[in-house]
Amino acid sequence: MRAVLCTKFGGPELLEIGEVDPPALGAKDIRVAAVAAGVNFGDTTMVSGAFPVQPPLPFVLGGEAAGEVIEVGESVERFKTGDRVMTLSIPGCFAEQVVVPETSAQPVPDGMGFEAAAGFTIAYGTAYYALIKRSHLQAGEVLLVLGATGGTGLAVVEVGRAAGAEVIAVGSNDEKLQQAAKQGAAHLINYEREQIAEKVMEITGGRGANVIFDGVGGEAFKQALGCIAGGGRLASVGAASGEIPEVSVLALMAADCDLIGISCGAYAARDPSAFAEDFEQLGSWYVEGKLNPHISATFPLEQVADALNVLVTRKVIGKVVLTMGRE
């Protein structure tokens, strides 16, 4: 089968499209004929060798995919051949076939295409876990989303809106921010010309944001601490700016807030049953029209380097997806 291979660390241009043997199938595994795979910022860090839990070389890149179940292990209970599923497996998903434990797959909601499903698991799973499970976002609270125009950021905007929050979206481009508005943001902040903390305090009448979702780090994180409400929760999921935030305990004490580290992959591995329950709610919201995944660009598997580069250069709004050449 064809797959994207990382044989040496560096830039996306070093990736290879090669033929590899299909993975073996365990008793509790399912084999999926992948139709599409979601591209994430974490893929770029894994290629460079900077991923927090780096797999040994060589490896098949990719963390999420969607397709049809073509084989099930003898002990599988949740799925059968022919089922439409989306999978989480870091790495291993940029391939024509993906083998995962049945606990690492979720049913594709009714009416959702494979391309949308391929980019759904990590973005919306992270959003739900960070906002609902860890930050305990409540209806009527103010949610500030830093990096609101990427795939995960837009998912956070939608999940926040579905939960009844007043959403403030932060980004660097007015055109991109308009997409956040379409997906539920009530207020927009362009950090290229506005100070985040100052604008948030203006919008909230000095109260600040109850929950802050940060996948950016750097200066945005520092400003977030200046506009968080007392008793607020700051969920940190990454540092797309390249600058990993450093914060003192004294600063957290002064802000009277909680700092929460988020790893969707660790959560899914630790408690797959709870993760599956999250997707029951997410699937219901999708069917009800409350969630509308935005696919910015699709690339064939052979153009994986181009797909990763548009993420690195911030040229996309929403998700980027690879296609395998099958319907």
Query: 39-85: per-residue pLDDT in tens?
Result: 998 899 999 998 888 899 999 999 999 999 999 999 999 999 999 99
Identify the band that residue 327 occupies on the pLDDT scale cut at 50, 70 and 90: low
Average pLDDT of span 250-278: 93
Residues 33 and 164 in one domain: no
pLDDT given at position 52: 81
In this structure, what CATH number is given to the domain that contains residue 95?
3.90.180.10
Report the number of distinct structural domains present in the chain.
2
Query: 177-195: per-residue pLDDT in tens?
Result: 999 999 999 999 999 999 9
3-state DSSP assignment of residue 282? helix
Q: Does 85 fall in a domain? A: yes
Average pLDDT of span 258-263: 94
Q: Does 303 fall in a domain? A: yes
Q: Does 231 fall in a domain? A: yes
Identify the band that residue 123 occupies on the pLDDT scale cut at 50, 70 and 90: very high
Residues 8 and 104 in one domain: yes
Query: 229-251: per-residue pLDDT in tens?
Result: 999 999 999 877 777 888 889 99
Residues 130 and 250 in one domain: yes
pLDDT at 325 over 90: no
Task: Report the 10 Å Cβ neighbour count for 58.
Answer: 13
3-state DSSP assignment of residue 214? strand
Residues 62 and 16 in one domain: yes
What percentage of the chain has pLDDT greater than the value 90?
A: 85
Q: How far is 194 from 180, CA to CA, in rounded Å?
A: 17
Domain end call among 265, 283, 304: 265
**Cβ partners under 8 Å of residue 202, min gap 6:** none
Tell me the backbone φ, ψ of residue 47, rounded to 5 degrees.
-65, -35
Q: Does 232 fall in a domain? A: yes
pLDDT given at position 294: 94
pLDDT given at position 248: 87
pLDDT given at position 244: 81
Compute the mean pLDDT over every residue in the chain, rounded to the nearest whole number.
94
- CA nearest to 217, candidates 149, 266, 146, 152: 146
Residues 159 and 247 in one domain: yes
Q: Does 111 fall in a domain? A: yes
Q: Domain span at residue 179?
A: 123-265
E strand intervals along 73-202? 84-88, 97-101, 105-107, 142-146, 166-171, 187-190
Domain end call among 265, 280, 312: 265
Q: Does 201 fall in a domain? A: yes
pLDDT given at position 274: 96
Q: Does 108 fall in a domain? A: yes
Residues 172 and 299 in one domain: no
The reply to whether the predicted model has a pTM over 0.85 is yes
Residues 167 and 202 in one domain: yes
Residues 81 and 107 in one domain: yes
Q: Does 288 fall in a domain? A: no
Rg (the chain; Cα; Å): 19
Residues 158 and 239 in one domain: yes
Residues 52 and 173 in one domain: no
pLDDT given at position 235: 97
pLDDT given at position 51: 86
Domain end call among 245, 265, 285: 265
Residues 75 and 186 in one domain: no
Residues 146 and 20 in one domain: no
In this structure, what CATH number is given to the domain that contains residue 205?
3.40.50.720
